[in-house]
Structure 1
Amino acid sequence: MALSRALRCCQRVFSWIPVIIISSVVLWSYYAYVFELCFVTLSNHLERVAYLLIFHVCFIMFCWTYWKAIFTPPSTPSKKFHLSYSDKERYEMEERPDAQKQILTEIAKKLPIFTRAQSGAVRFCDRCQVIKPDRCHHCSVCETCVLKMDHHCPWVNNCVGFSNYKFFLLFLSYSMIYCVFIASTVFQYFLKFWVGDLPNGPAKFHVLFLLFVALMFFVSLMFLFGYHCWLVAKNRSTLEAFSAPVFQNGPDRNGFNVGLSRNLRQVFGEDKKLWFIPVFTSQGDGHYFPLRTLCESENPLLANEGKWMEDGGSDEESAVVSWLTLAS
């Protein structure tokens, strides 16, 4: 037991290494750009002020979005999706798999769940003892079920899901802007150092490596950002792109795709002025998502709307029901 605790502790410590690496590179880039380039290399005061102003805007937005992506806790299923004491006891007492499956099916009828496991059974997490909402998956690193889980990212040491997906996308975009700005402003001085128009010194080393590092990170980020833009446009998570969600009528990769405009609003919200600011504006609460094609007669949520509302549904939940009705 003590050994297991020690291993988990070591794992937590080592999981911060990628974050420390990124933070160290960014802090070095700040020193190299502000002091070695702007204060040591630049002689034009107007150019220096302009560079410093724009650089600090990019730097602040990068740090803000990175901080939010790291320290925003993953959203987990609400109590409605946890088994009650009596249901849990009934489920654990039953040894037959088919009977356990039937128990979960009966409980799920009271919940707005549309997806199923590959076997067609209700998706249930034995470790968290929770019926999984649509698009929810268990993260073995975070050791919890995460709403609309996309993936676990070592570079932010956090699960990317419903609560911080917008922050993760903004982190990627502001990282690219940060790299592009550094590369574009450093390039002319890189050439001057390279051909010998500027004297050798510590600044030369920093300026040369600034360009290489900025371009290297930009290329890697460009592919990752492009992939996630495609995912947002299709309203898929990384997990759903590799394994299509299974509905009552079978697997469907486009099951949650409700059109480009509505897909964007699900992640970034209705107010476009807040799209590029790292504040939470995503629609809903991560438990319920509009479906692309859903007939009312096949809608288990609408068929059990009365039961669900009788079990303590709030005004917000009623609004979600209406939202799903319109989506269908």
Structure 2
Amino acid sequence: MLDCQLDKDGNPRPKRPIPKIIGIRQHMEIQRVKQMEKQGPDSWLVRKFAVGLVAGIFGYSYYIYVVRLCIPMIRMESDRLGGRAQGLAYLVIFHFLFVMFVWTYYVAVTTAPGFARDYVPKTDPPQAQEEYITVAGQRFEDQPNTHEPKLLPADDLHSPRRRRRGRRVEDENLDELDDDYEGDSSGEQVETVEMSEKRRQSLVSQVHDDDQVAEASPAAGALGPAIGAALANAQSPPTDSPVTPEVLSSSANGNGLSPADEDRGRHDSGGSVTLVHSSSSPDAPTFPPKVHLSNGTDGNEPQPRTSQSSAAPSYLHFAEPPDDWEPPKRLAVERVPNSAPVLTERYRYDPREGIVRPYRSHRCRHCAAIVLKMDHHCPWVGSCVGARNYKYFYNFLQYSTLYTFFVFLTLLIAQTLPLGTFTANRPYPGVDGQQVAIIALSFLFFLFTCSLFTAHTMLILRNVTTIEEISAKRMRQRERAALSSTYKFLQWRAKRDTVREWNKQWGRIGKEGNLWWLGSNRANWEMVMGKAKLGWFLPIPARPVHDDGLHYVPNPRFSPEGYWRRRSEWPVELR
């Protein structure tokens, strides 16, 4: 081993780690992950660095424009680039735009966007809401069970008579019932065949009676034939009444009684429930008349079902569709709206601050806080743009666009048009490099501010934020990808017809599909900028409406959870 590889004590030196060279994309991804895992806000210097940069650039532009362009024109110096009148006009307009630019920028920077922790109290995490099935306005679990069957002794439960009563009677097992009552003589066999035929007629009448019970009492019919019959007669079946051939053979009558049993009680069959009571008992209950039999009939013949125009409601009847209703077309590609329940408290709860975020609020990782109606984090104002400073930010974009365009245009004119006016007595002073630098900077800032001004004007007219617009763009991108994968390149008509059918079934993404759309561009504009026209151009509070970031009315075309519904599910006045 070489001496250079040994330390002072003669031990081998540890190998130095070889630095790994990574690309720009990997470096940006690592920084993004670190920023996502960071809990605290960025340092004050990092957040306000761009503010100082903007102040320095526009201060330098003031020096170039006033000192090196306008003053030589007013003094009529030899190196001037225009006349005195031109210099005075430039100076007045420039100062107006510069003052308005400084005023709007100062208000936008010093006004807080509105943090939710200052307006919303801390709460515990909301619990999941349990959903219950309700019957007649009451939870199904709390319904009184007045028809609970009685407990029977074990020996009585397995008796032959009990087994015959609980046996389910159908057409295919009628022979088993006949075997229970079959005798040795041929006469008894003939009676058994006649009894089977009567039993079949009673089953037909029984099915018809159950249907009329459901029609006359929808709440009872919805619970099934067995419970419906029990509710109709308001009494549970007894457990000790015998079943005899006379009872079975008399089921063909409307009241279910044989002549021998008319003095003893009443039998009423409803599905698998049989009600038998003896009138000789001192505690014999009083039964109401049968609700499933029409007036003036003894139940021997089946009665027709009531029509849909009947006054009694029924779960068997369905409302007629409107005249202009058309079934939705079957499309090769279906629209799939966003499925996030953005209006629920569980979705909006933030465990880091322990509060339920108000509507349209989001957490900014640079400010480490929940911002009311967050639009974006703007480094040029050193903070987020939210509900409380969004109007002032828009006013700043108005005057910064006008200011940069005026500086760019007038400096460009001053450097090009007067070239033919110079003579030998007043030679051309040459190109001013500092003015050329301001021309380049003002042009770049004009493109930037003009694009922001146009974009935010469209956002205000649709009442959406930048974050919400990004979500809508992602949905459009998914739809374009689905159409491209389904249809070929030349099938543009099929794509267009599919989008039209989507808009017919759901509405447009930017309007009906906007959770916060107020119905018109004017209403959306006045919500942010106010109704007073003076506030549209000055950085003053909106009057009489002020967007506080706490109170918003969702679009009624959405469900209470925040899901976009089809047009057929909208309120009638909005379809």
**TM-score normalised by the chain length of structure 2:** 0.42
Alpha-carbon separation, structure 1, partners of 2:42 and 2:464: 34
Alpha-carbon separation, structure 1, partners of 2:454 and 2:71: 35
Q: Secondary structure at the match of 2:96?
A: helix
Of 526, 542, 547, which aligns to 1:265? 526
Is 1:223 paired with 2:483? no
Q: Which is helix-richer, 1 or 2?
A: 1
Corresponding residue of 2:411: 186
Q: Secondary structure at the match of 1:127?
A: coil
Alpha-carbon separation, structure 2, partners of 1:102 and 1:28: 59
Amino acid at match of 2:538: I
Alpha-carbon separation, structure 2, partners of 1:141 and 1:10: 5
Fraction of identical pairs, as percent: 30
RMSD: 3.4
**CA, structure 1 residues 160+11, in 2 after alignment: closer, same or farther (shift >3 Å)?**
same
Of 515, 519, 522, which aligns to 1:255? 515
Alpha-carbon separation, structure 2, partners of 1:63 and 1:79: 28
1:241 touches 1:253 (CA, 8 Å); kept in 2? no
Of 397, 413, 435, which aligns to 1:207? 435
Amino acid at match of 2:58: V
Q: Secondary structure at the match of 1:138?
A: strand
Is 1:276 paired with 2:537? yes
Q: Secondary structure at the match of 1:290?
A: coil
2:385 touches 2:393 (CA, 8 Å); kept in 1? yes
Amino acid at match of 1:27: G
**1:210 Cα shift?**
2.4
**CA, structure 1 residues 260+76, in 2 after alignment: closer, same or farther (shift >3 Å)?**
same
1:265 touches 1:283 (CA, 8 Å); kept in 2? no
1:189 touches 1:207 (CA, 8 Å); kept in 2? no
CA deviations on 1:243-292 (whole Å, 9 max, x unpaired) are 25xxxxxx985111111001100110111122110012153421112333
* Residues paired across the two proteins, number: 265
**CA, structure 1 residues 262+226, in 2 after alignment: closer, same or farther (shift >3 Å)?**
same
Alpha-carbon separation, structure 1, partners of 2:82 and 2:119: 64
Of 550, 557, 567, which aligns to 1:287? 550
Corresponding residue of 2:362: 137
Alpha-carbon separation, structure 1, partners of 2:376 and 2:62: 29
Corresponding residue of 2:60: 28
Q: Secondary structure at the match of 2:45?
A: helix
**CA, structure 1 residues 14+69, in 2 after alignment: closer, same or farther (shift >3 Å)?**
same
Q: Secondary structure at the match of 1:16?
A: helix
**1:135 Cα shift?**
0.4
Mean Cα deviation higher: 130-139 or 278-287: 278-287
Amino acid at match of 2:96: V
Amino acid at match of 1:141: H
| Gap regions ≥5 residues in structure 1 | 1-6, 92-99, 104-114, 245-250, 301-326
Of 119, 123, 128, which aligns to 1:102? 128
Corresponding residue of 1:310: none
**1:62 Cα shift?**
0.6
Q: Secondary structure at the match of 1:121?
A: helix
Amino acid at match of 2:534: K
Alpha-carbon separation, structure 1, partners of 2:101 and 2:428: 32
**1:76 Cα shift?**
2.4
**1:208 Cα shift?**
1.9
Of 365, 373, 384, which aligns to 1:148? 373
Alpha-carbon separation, structure 1, partners of 2:370 and 2:399: 29
**1:161 Cα shift?**
0.6
Matched ranges for 1:1-328 at <5 A: 11-40=43-72, 41-42=80-81, 44-77=83-116, 81-84=120-123, 88=124, 91=125, 101-102=127-128, 116-117=341-342, 121-191=346-416, 197=422, 199-200=428-429, 204-243=432-471, 253-258=513-518, 259-281=520-542, 283-293=546-556
**CA, structure 1 residues 34+287, in 2 after alignment: closer, same or farther (shift >3 Å)?**
same
1:193 touches 1:199 (CA, 8 Å); kept in 2? no
Alpha-carbon separation, structure 1, partners of 2:351 and 2:419: 61
2:362 touches 2:370 (CA, 8 Å); kept in 1? yes
**1:42 Cα shift?**
4.7
CA deviations on 1:82-136 (whole Å, 9 max, x unpaired) are 235xxx3xx4xxxxxxxx5428xxxxxxxxxxx9449983311112211011101
Alpha-carbon separation, structure 2, partners of 1:80 and 1:156: 23
| Gap regions ≥5 residues in structure 2 | 1-38, 73-79, 130-339, 473-508, 562-573
Amino acid at match of 1:55: F
Larger Rg computed on CA atoms:
2
CA deviations on 1:167-225 (whole Å, 9 max, x unpaired) are 11111111110011112222222215888956336x71222222222111111222222
**1:158 Cα shift?**
0.8
